[in-house]
Amino acid sequence: MIEQTAVIALGLIFVLALAGVHIALAFLIGSTVGLYLLFQDWWMTLGLLQQTAFDGIRDYNLMVIPLFAVMGLLIARSGAATDLFSAANRTFSRVPARLAVATVAGNAFFAAVTGVGVAAAATFSHIAYPSMQAAGYRRSFAAGCIAGSSVLGLLIPPSVFMIVWAILTEQSIGRLFAAGVLPGIALAVLFALYCVVRAIRNPQIVQAETAVAPESAPRPDPVGIFGILAIIVVTLGGIWGGFFTPTEGSAVGLAGALLLSLAKGMSRSAIVEATREAGMVVTPIMLLLLGAAMYSKLLALAGIPQVVGMLFETMELGPTGTVLVMAAIWLVLGCFVDSISIMLLTVPLFWPIAQAMGIDPVVFAIVGILVIEAGVLTPPFGIGAFVVLAAIPDKELRLSEVFRGLAPYWIMILGIAVAVYVFPPLATLVPSLL
């Protein structure tokens, strides 16, 4: 009966989500109905909902999400991201597909000061695409590069994605941040190499780039470049050096971003607008976490993780086979559900199984984040593609072109996920040094 109740609740969540109900509300309704079926008492169910909401609001670690989000939006709106792109464009002046490589490099550095991949996609759509268009880049190649490299912000710290994973699994946020460094760098290098090789083999996709001198790009403002580097060093260095917690580090980073914004000449109204926009990004995430907390309580009370674990044991797949099945589920869900919702739906189920099989928690986290990250780019509902399509100032660009340009990027992401699983030090080396 208990298992049937959980199945009913899970089915209700999926039906509501597919019907267009916001996923946070679907979590809350499905979990509440499931808990009522377990308790047969509305007051007990509502009391548990109230306690869960209260615990979530007072959770000190949750402050990391809004603080890093505001930090990232302030830096994006200050013009510092344009400085990054211009500096990278000049640095790679002799490299084929230099604008694409500059976009990847700019996204990699931008990722280190904002944990919101959507912000990167929207920002570089306005910065990089017009330059690529002027250089005669093929639309699908340019859009794919912008959307593909924007997901670096989901892996390179301070990633909101990693923060949510750490909260769900009760892992150290700082340790997960450290684990994402080498895979993030490897992924950025792989993206850049792909752009260079593609341009060498098919020069038509960047047909007029050599006619556009890198010196024609606006000169980067040293204030923006050094400001971003200082925020990265102080914020992440302070967290890894043990000088302050991730929550304190996010507050320090926000203070640095505010100072940088003022130094770049942002008006008070622009700062308020960036803060408001960050609130619009963060609020759905916080509501999702509240719904996920109720969902996790339902799973725990119904014993669903144990049931799913026994199912995997009877299949006798072993650790590698189990991870492959999980990855397949993540990829399929990525075609229909946004990435954070996938994490909230599956991690409470998959995490205990991975631990029971002795899979390194850091390796499993990075592999899971990478595979779910690939779902951000896969059709038909890859949110990265839709954000870029909406933000790029080109009415002739089609969604099919964006997805076509994105295909190599999510394949490379999956390749790095395999590399991390086969060679765990990619994820565990940096945390072990701290």
The yes-or-no verdict on residue 381 having pLDDT over 80 is no
The yes-or-no verdict on residue 1 having pLDDT over 60 is no
The residue that leads in pLDDT, 187 or 207, is: 187
- What is the amino acid identity at position 187? L
Token pair recorded at residue 151: 């997901």
Task: Output the average pLDDT for the chain.
Answer: 80
Among 23-32, 240-249, 418-427, the least confident range? 23-32
Q: Name beta bridge partners: 206.
A: 137
Among 85-89, 102-106, 195-199, the least confident range? 85-89
Which residue has 């130094």 as its token pair?
263
Q: Average pLDDT for residues 83-109, to the nearest whole number? A: 83
- What distance in Å separates the CA atoms of residue 3 and residue 307, rounded to the nearest whole number? 8
Q: pLDDT band for 368, please (50, 70, 90 cuts).
A: very high
The whole-number pLDDT of residue 386 equals: 74
The residue that leads in pLDDT, 386 or 256, is: 256
- Asked whether the beta carbons of 131 and 208 are under 8 A apart, the reply is no
The whole-number pLDDT of residue 242 equals: 79
Q: pLDDT band for 415, please (50, 70, 90 cuts).
A: very high
If one counts every other C-beta atom within 10 angstroms of the C-beta of residue 266, the result is 18
Most confident of 125-134, 210-219, 353-362: 353-362
The pLDDT tens digits of the residues spanning 280-299 come to 777 777 777 777 777 777 77
- What is the amino acid identity at position 37? L
- What phi and psi values does residue 83 have, to the nearest 5 degrees? -60, -40
Q: Where are the alpha helices (DSSP H) in 20-97?
A: 23-39, 42-57, 64-78, 80-91
Q: Average pLDDT for residues 63-67, to the nearest whole number? A: 78
The pLDDT tens digits of the residues spanning 125-163 come to 777 888 888 778 888 888 888 888 888 878 888 887 888
- Asked whether the beta carbons of 13 and 295 are under 8 A apart, the reply is yes
137: left (phi over 0), alpha (psi -120 to 50) or beta: beta
The whole-number pLDDT of residue 372 equals: 87
The yes-or-no verdict on residue 325 having pLDDT over 80 is yes
| SS3 track for the chain | CHHHHHHHHHHHHHHHHHCCCCHHHHHHHHHHHHHHHHHCCHHHHHHHHHHHHHHHHCCHHHHHHHHHHHHHHHHHHHCHHHHHHHHHHHHCCCCCCHHHHHHHHHHHHHHCCCCCHHHHHHHHHHHHHHHHHHCCECHHHHHHHHHHHHHHHHCCCCCHHHHHHHHHHCCCHHHHHHHCHHHHHHHHHHHHHHHHHHHHHCHHHECCHHHCCHHHCCCCCHHHHHHHHHHHHHHHHHHHCCCCCHHHHHHHHHHHHHHHHHHCCCCHHHHHHHHHHHHHHHHHHHHHHHHHHHHHHHHHHHCHHHHHHHHHHHHCCHHHHHHHHHHHHHHHHHCCCCHHHHHHHHHHHHHHHHHHCCCCHHHHHHHHHHHHHHHCCCCCCCHHHHHHHHHCCCCCCCHHHHHHHHHHHHHHHHHHHHHHHHCCHHHHHHHHHC
The yes-or-no verdict on residue 90 having pLDDT over 70 is yes
Q: Average pLDDT for residues 54-70, to the nearest whole number? A: 72
- What phi and psi values does residue 209 have, to the nearest 5 degrees? -65, -40
Contacts of 13 (CB under 8 A, 6+ apart): 26, 27, 29, 30, 31, 295, 345
